[in-house]
């Protein structure tokens, strides 16, 4: 199986605590955060990963080259910001198969990808999302699913006592690209997921596996101790 990792983030909110490197290269316990993502992907039997890169992408290429242990690495480079959706669309040109995983490059959600694959196949969804149960949050929009585990709504970010959040791990069919906006740059979350709920079938698989998002300084600092303990 193949995966696309969104590794083009600037890490603007992390600038107070990291030097000028792409967000996935932020050092965590002595290793780039991206190292932990690639290690998890390889452990889940992903044979080829396409890194969707942009800002200072040479740093990532120089660090990892074309292979991570047994896993092949390829690069999809954006010359100007394409947003998450545009980056995915461009990286999809490098895919060899019809189904693939999409992974956020600033998040680790250490669920079993074979379970997501089985879920996706069993329900024949166009796209399946790993959902994380969370309490007392305001950084994420809440995702609602029905009794068949189909996503029926994605709410705006606001304070929530509890709910399910999009964990930033997807499995998709290549045909979704025909439903993307006809622009080079767009948000995968806002301009695809939220607008195509009624046209396409999106499934949500709940997992309470370990989750960390280093998008803000407090969680980045939290990752320093947690990922050390897990490694």
pLDDT digits 0-9 by tens, 211-226: 999 988 889 899 998 9
pTM of the model: 0.95
Average pLDDT over residues 143-171: 93
- What is the C-alpha separation between 25 and 91, in angstroms, rounded? 19
Q: pLDDT-based confidence at 32, cuts 50/70/90?
A: very high
pLDDT beyond 90 at 159: no
pLDDT digits 0-9 by tens, 176-191: 999 999 999 999 999 9
DSSP symbol at 198? T
DSSP, collapsed to helix, strand or coil, labels residue 210 as coil
- What is the C-alpha separation between 187 and 169, in angstroms, rounded? 15
- What is the C-alpha separation between 2 and 130, in angstroms, rounded? 17
- What is the C-alpha separation between 194 and 162, in angstroms, rounded? 20
DSSP symbol at 150? B
Show contacts of 20-26: CB within 8 Å, 24+ apart. 20/56, 21/56, 21/59, 22/53, 22/54, 22/55, 22/56, 22/57, 22/59, 22/60, 23/105, 23/106, 23/214, 23/215, 24/60, 24/105, 24/106, 25/59, 25/60, 25/63, 26/214, 26/220
Question: Which H or E run contains 42?
Answer: helix 33-43
Q: Domains in the chain, ordered, with CATH?
A: 2-230 (3.90.550.10)
């Amino acid at each position: 199986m193949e995966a696309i990792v969104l590794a083009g983030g600037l890490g603007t909110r992390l600038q107070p605590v990291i030097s000028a490197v792409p967000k996935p290269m932020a050092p965590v316990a002595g290793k780039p955060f991206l190292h932990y993502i690639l290690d998890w992907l390889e452990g889940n039997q992903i044979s080829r990963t396409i890194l969707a890169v942009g800002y200072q992408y040479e740093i990532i290429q120089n660090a990892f080259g074309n292979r991570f242990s047994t896993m092949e690495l390829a690069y999809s480079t954006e010359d100007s910001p394409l947003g998450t959706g545009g980056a995915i669309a461009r990286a999809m040109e490098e895919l060899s198969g019809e189904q693939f995983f999409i992974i956020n490059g600033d998040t680790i959600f250490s669920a079993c990808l074979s379970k997501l694959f089985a879920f996706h196949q069993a329900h024949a969804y166009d796209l399946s999302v790993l959902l994380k149960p969370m309490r007392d949050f305001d950084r994420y929009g809440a995702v609602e699913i029905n009794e068949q585990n189909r996503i029926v709504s994605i709410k705006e970010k606001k304070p929530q006592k509890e709910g399910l959040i999009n964990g930033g791990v997807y499995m998709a069919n290549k045909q979704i690209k025909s439903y993307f906006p006809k622009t080079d740059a767009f948000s995968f979350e806002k301009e695809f997921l939220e607008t195509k709920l009624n046209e396409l079938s999106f499934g949500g698989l709940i997992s309470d596996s370990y989750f960390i998002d280093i998008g803000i300084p407090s969680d980045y600092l939290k990752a320093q101790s947690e990922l050390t303990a897990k490694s």
